[in-house]
Chains A and B, each alone.
Chain A
């Protein structure tokens, strides 16, 4: 199942710089996209989401960009902090209402390491 792909297994950045995590999808039925963060021994934690009718959504240091024509989304973290070091999962859903909102298709994850 390669409907959601994160091609970079890992990313390393310096504290204070920008982190850019990328994600590609193939299913045209996806209309909502999300990023989750996961620390070791914890469950995934919701970070930010974007509807397919938008191309950008911002929440503090986190911005998600969506390019529907390219079926590509990215997460920008500015400035990056050591506490941001975690696994970041891209996810998508095809929303038909109700519980389908929570039926997520995840990417493989990207390990982000932010060095002090």
Chain B
């Protein structure tokens, strides 16, 4: 069964460092998303991406964040200068036609720890 894969599963970084989280969405999907969950809090929408551009972003997704689909298969989230409060589980998700029923396919997540 096709699945969304994310790397790394866990990354530890120093405050101020750049981090890139990688995702390989399901191959025929067109809609791509990043969500995050800070420990003990809700899963929060960060950004949606369609047709090679950002279609929506939340207030959390400020200038320190960027997304890219560099080669038609990978979908990356970059945090330019990490802060302590960026520590969270980051989930990539993708969807095809099932987006109409709200069915997103999530990866297992990348845990980011900022020290």
Question: Which residues on A are within 8 Å of B, measured CB to CB?
Answer: 1, 32, 34, 41-46, 49, 89, 91, 93, 98-109
Q: How far is the CB of B108 from chain A (nearest CB, A)?
A: 5
The answer to whether A100 and B56 have CB atoms under 8 Å apart is yes
The answer to whether A44 and B99 have CB atoms under 8 Å apart is no
- Which residues of chain A come closer than 8 Å to B106, judged between CB atoms? 43-45
- Which residues of chain A come closer than 8 Å to B49, judged between CB atoms? 99
The answer to whether B99 and A99 have CB atoms under 8 Å apart is yes
Q: How far is the CB of B51 from chain A (nearest CB, A)?
A: 9
- Which residues of chain A come closer than 8 Å to B44, judged between CB atoms? 1, 106
Write 10 A-B pairs (CB below 8 A) sorted by A numbering: A42-B108, A43-B93, A99-B33, A99-B49, A99-B50, A101-B102, A103-B48, A104-B45, A108-B42, A109-B42
Q: What's the count of A-B pairs with C-beta under 8 Å?
A: 75
How many residues of B are in contact with the other chain, CB < 8 A? 29
The answer to whether B56 and A103 have CB atoms under 8 Å apart is yes
- Which residues of chain B come closer than 8 Å to A49, judged between CB atoms? 101-103
The answer to whether A99 and B55 have CB atoms under 8 Å apart is yes
Q: Mark B1-35, 1 if CB is under 8 A from A, else 0.
A: 00010000000000000000000000000010101
| 17 further interface pairs, Cβ-Cβ under 8 Å (given A41-B108, A108-B41) | A32-B101, A32-B102, A34-B103, A43-B93, A43-B108, A43-B109, A44-B43, A45-B106, A49-B101, A49-B102, A99-B50, A101-B95, A102-B48, A102-B102, A104-B35, A104-B45, A109-B42
